[in-house]
Amino acid sequence: MTSALGFTVLLEHPDSPVHQAIASAVLRRALMGLAMGSTAVVLVYSPWGQRSGAHFNPALTFTYLRLGKVKPAYALFYALAQFFGAIAGVFATAHVIGAVADPHVRFAVTLPGSLGVLAAFAAEVAISFGLMFIVLCASNAARTARFTGMFCGLLVATYITVEAPISGMSMNPARTLGSAAGAAHFASLWIYFTAPPLGMLLAAEVYLRTRGAARVRCAKLQHGIRQRCIFCGHRAA
């Protein structure tokens, strides 16, 4: 959330020299996509991300619950941590960077675009489906497992550049709630609480029907630390 708010201020606040230097909204979105995609990659491959599985999205966590790779109690507390972290991140960042409250930044709130709520809902389902399906395919194949975080970052960057004008590009109920709490704007929250889980659960169903449950190895996006994995028992050599 700190990354999202900080880069939104940098790129969209009218007093920012970066905003003043880049007139193209498309180019600014591309830079935002690059920033957020890179943030996702860093989180996945960081020691903390490798320890937890980099589940900063409750929709992803509950999809792995459906796949039988996360225990219900773990899923509950992961989701609580994700929502708490998002809200805390917004308010902590706003305390340091007051410009996040500017109307041009508005706490980086995610809102439907000019095509309306149905288009935003459909777009969120589609991008969430795409991300989850790629994650499952990549993380469960020996040749591509170590690149799963890279694929996530590339998709995030692409979605922000191309899809953000339709739905604001969330895929993450916790991220959306964090910004909504900061902006005190909850009118469209239902879209981002229903569409991402629906899209990811649909991706899981397609994966199960085409590959089978046995092909899902673990709920972690990236192993690599020496600690034992709480999900599958994996321990790095």
Owner of token pair 């169903």:
205
Euclidean distance between CA atoms 225 and 132, whole angstroms: 23
Which tokens hold the place of 50? 């490798």
How many domains, the chain?
Answer: 1
The pTM score is 0.93
Residue 150 placed within a domain: yes
pLDDT for res 225: 67
Which tokens hold the place of 178? 């964090």
Residue 227 placed within a domain: no
228 pLDDT more than 90: no
Q: Please say whether the beta carbons of 124 and 191 come within 8 A.
A: yes
User: Is residue 58 exposed (0-12), middle (13-18) or buried (19+ Cβ within 10 Å)?
Assistant: buried
Residue type at 228? R
Residue 226 placed within a domain: no
- The CATH number assigned to the domain holding 155 equals 1.20.1080.10
pLDDT for res 227: 75
Q: Please say whether the beta carbons of 148 and 155 come within 8 A.
A: no
Euclidean distance between CA atoms 45 and 123, whole angstroms: 28
Residue range 54-66, pLDDT digits in tens: 999 999 999 999 9
214 pLDDT more than 80: no
Confidence of residue 67 (pLDDT cuts 50, 70, 90): very high
Q: Please say whether the beta carbons of 81 and 61 come within 8 A.
A: no
Confidence of residue 213 (pLDDT cuts 50, 70, 90): low
Euclidean distance between CA atoms 31 and 35, whole angstroms: 6
Domain extent, residue 76, equals: 2-215
Nearest to 176 by CA among 112, 102, 92: 112
Residue 235 placed within a domain: no
